[in-house]
Amino acid sequence: MTALIKRTALAAMVLVSAAVVAEERPVTIELGVDAVSNYVWRGQLLTDDPVLQPSVTVGYKGFSLNAWGSIDMTDVNEVGDEDYRLQEVDYTLSYAFSSVEGLDLEGGVIHYDFPGTGFDATRELYGSAALSSMFLAPTLTVYYDFDEVDGVYANLGIGHAFEFRDSLEVSLDAGLGWSDADYNGAYFGVDESAFQELAITASLDYSVTDRFGVSVFVGYSELLDGDIEDVVSDPDIFSAGVGVTLSY
């Protein structure tokens, strides 16, 4: 009986220790998937049909590694008889820190791959600074494509979240995008710098548990430059979607 008690106590200690280690482990994992009415990126309508956009992020002491994809839910982008709907996969390695209270900094590199298209893969470096303690938390993010495009895109964003209770939140965000002549020449054939687009989004986020959440969101994007508007078919775009996230 004494031996059984000792083994039971030892097993309990192991379980408690494992639980403590699990609580203190610095690695975080977040899984998510969005179902969206269309795929809009920096004012460009890339897929004019519903898409699924899954993602996984692993974080460790400020470092994050993210993989994100866009999968067509219809055959809108398919050519011939092929059934290959994975249009894009992005990989992002980043580091975030706050050297001064209220100033959040982040930088990283993004690899864009387009397996379901004829486009070449490309890469961007980016850096962002956010005044998180200020109302509307203004955030400036600058991207530099050092591969296929050799151009710069910058976005100035603002946003605010309204908490109605611990588990329910409404967020409103807006962003103004600017791009240089090299960027606009590569994507639109317009060889001039310009304020490219204005985007507004609203989301309703509900935390079902501490680890599982659902969201509903709508967005509006409008191209601002007249020359860019002339070369695209949809300068003004509405989007809507639902998403789920699971974190560990």
Return the CATH number at 57: 2.40.230.20
Lowest-pLDDT choice from 6-15, 50-59, 86-95: 6-15
Determine, yes or no, domain membership for 63: yes
Q: Residue 34: inside a domain, yes or no?
A: yes
Q: Is residue 190 part of a domain?
A: yes
Query: Looking at residues 193-212, what average pLDDT do you find?
Result: 96
Residue 186 has pLDDT above 90, yes or no: yes
How far is residue 208 from each of residues 11, 42, 53, 160, measured CA to CA in Å? 32, 31, 21, 21
pTM for the whole structure: 0.87
Query: Residue 162 — very low, low, confident or very high, per pLDDT cuts 50/70/90?
Result: very high
- pLDDT mean over 89-115: 96
d(CA 48, CA 236): 12
**Does residue 1 lie in a domain region?**
no
pLDDT bucket at 24, cuts 50 / 70 / 90 = low
Query: Contact at 8 Å (CB) between 55 and 70?
Result: no
Is 188 inside a domain boundary?
A: yes
How distant, in Å, are the alpha carbons of 146, 153, 181 from that of 197?
22, 11, 15
Which residue, chain included where needed, has tokens 């092929």? 82
The pLDDT assigned to 132 comes to 94
Q: What is residue 8's predicted lDDT score, i.e. its pLDDT?
A: 42
The number of folded domains in the chain is 1
Q: How confident is the model at residue 25 (pLDDT cuts 50, 70, 90)?
A: low
Least confident of 71-75, 77-81, 209-213: 77-81
Element (H, E) at 22: helix 2-24
Q: CA-CA distance, 155 to 175, in Å (whole number)?
A: 6
Q: Do the domain assignments include residue 18?
A: no
For the cut 70, the answer to whether the pLDDT of residue 6 exceeds it is no
- Domain hosting 111: range is 27-247
Q: Let me know if residue 37 belongs to a domain.
A: yes
